[in-house]
Amino acid sequence: VLGIDPGLVATGYGLLGSASAGVAVLATGVITTTATLTLDARVQQVYDGVLAVLDRFEPASMVLEDLYAEYRFPRTALLMAHVRGVICLAARQRGVTLVAIAPGEVKRAVAGHGAASKAQVQQSVRRLLSLAALPAPSHVADALALAFTGYSRAGGRLAAAGVRP
Binding residues vs a second copy (CB under 8 A): 38-41, 43-44, 47, 67, 69-71, 74-75, 77-79, 81-86, 88-89, 91-93, 98, 100
Smallest gap from Cβ 147 to a second copy, in A, equals 17
SS3 (DSSP) at 67: coil
Q: 21 or 73, CB closer to a second copy?
A: 73
Q: 30 or 100, CB closer to a second copy?
A: 100
Smallest gap from Cβ 98 to a second copy, in A, equals 5
Round to whole Å and give the CA distance between 129 and 80: 27
Q: 79 or 109, CB closer to a second copy?
A: 79
SS3 (DSSP) at 25: strand
Q: Where are the alpha helices (DSSP H) in the chain?
A: 39-57, 74-93, 103-111, 118-128, 138-153
